[in-house]
Amino acid sequence: MYYGEYNYTLSYYPVGDNTLLQDVSFTVEKGDVALITGPSGIGKSTLFNLVSRILSCETVFVGYNGRPVEDYCLRDYYRHVLQVEQTVVTVHGTLLENLTFGEEYPEERIREVLRVAQLEKFVEERGLDFVLDEHAANISGGERQRIGIARMLLRRPDLLLLDEPTSALDAETGENLMRGLAEYAKENGMSLLVISHKSDADEYASQKVRLCAG
C-alpha cells in the first residue's frame, strides 16, 4: 500500500493453518479514498489492525515512508496514522472534552469537524458542553460513532482508517458523512482507508481493493 511518501506493503498474515491477506498490495495517493471490500472473515479488520499496529507485523512486512513500521516509536507513528475504533471510547465529560481529550484546537477547526461528522444538529440542540454520562448511555450509537470520527479528524492524520463508518446511520446521514469525509480528506491532504459493506462510499472511492480467499 503506498500513500504519497508513505509506503505500506502487506503480504500475508497466517492464523493457524489459514492464510489471510495473501499477496495484498495497493497504492493510496494523497487525498485518496481507498475502499476495502470482501466477504466477512476475509481479513479486512486484520489488514486495518496491521496498518494501525494493533497487531504485530512479525509475519508480514508493513512499511511506512519506505521503512518498516517497527522502526517508528508508536507515539510518532500515531501522529500520522489513526484508526477510528469500532467501539468508540468515551469519558464522563462534555462533548468538547470527548473531542479534544485536553488538547487545544481552534474553535473554527472544531466546528469544521463537527460539520463533516454530521454533528451540527447535535450541537445546536445540546451544545458543546453537553455531558456524556458513563458509557455514553445518553446518546445513540450513531452519535457515538460520529463523535469518534470527529475526534480523529480533528487531529488531521496523514492516513485515517475507518471501519464501517456509516453502519449505525440512516442512508441520508451516511451519504452526507461520506461526502464530507472525502472532501475533508482532499482539502487537508489526508488519505482514507475505508471498510464498508454499504454502497455509500462507492462514489467517493478513488480505488477499490477487494480481498479474496487464496
Overall pTM > 0.85: yes
Retrieve residue 103's grid coordinates. Answer: 488538547
Instruction: Give Cα separations from 151 to 41, 48, 90, 147, 188 (angstroms).
Output: 28, 18, 11, 6, 15
**What is the tens place of the pLDDT at every residue in 52-86?**
888 776 666 777 777 777 888 989 889 989 999 87
**What is the tens place of the pLDDT at every residue in 134-172?**
889 999 999 999 999 999 999 999 999 999 999 889 999
Retrieve residue 74's grid coordinates. Answer: 508508536
Which of 81, 210, 126 is closest to 147 using CA atoms?
Answer: 126
Q: pLDDT band at 114, cuts 50/70/90?
A: very high
Number of H helices, E strands in the chain: 7, 14
Retrieve residue 149's grid coordinates. Answer: 470520527
**What is the tens place of the pLDDT at every residue in 120-137?**
999 999 999 999 998 899
How far apart (Å, rounded) are the C-alpha atoms in residues 31 and 35?
Answer: 13
Retrieve residue 90's grid coordinates. Answer: 468515551
Helix axes 171-187, 107-116, angle to 10 degrees: 140
Q: Do the Cβ atoms of 158 and 1 come closer than 8 Å?
A: no
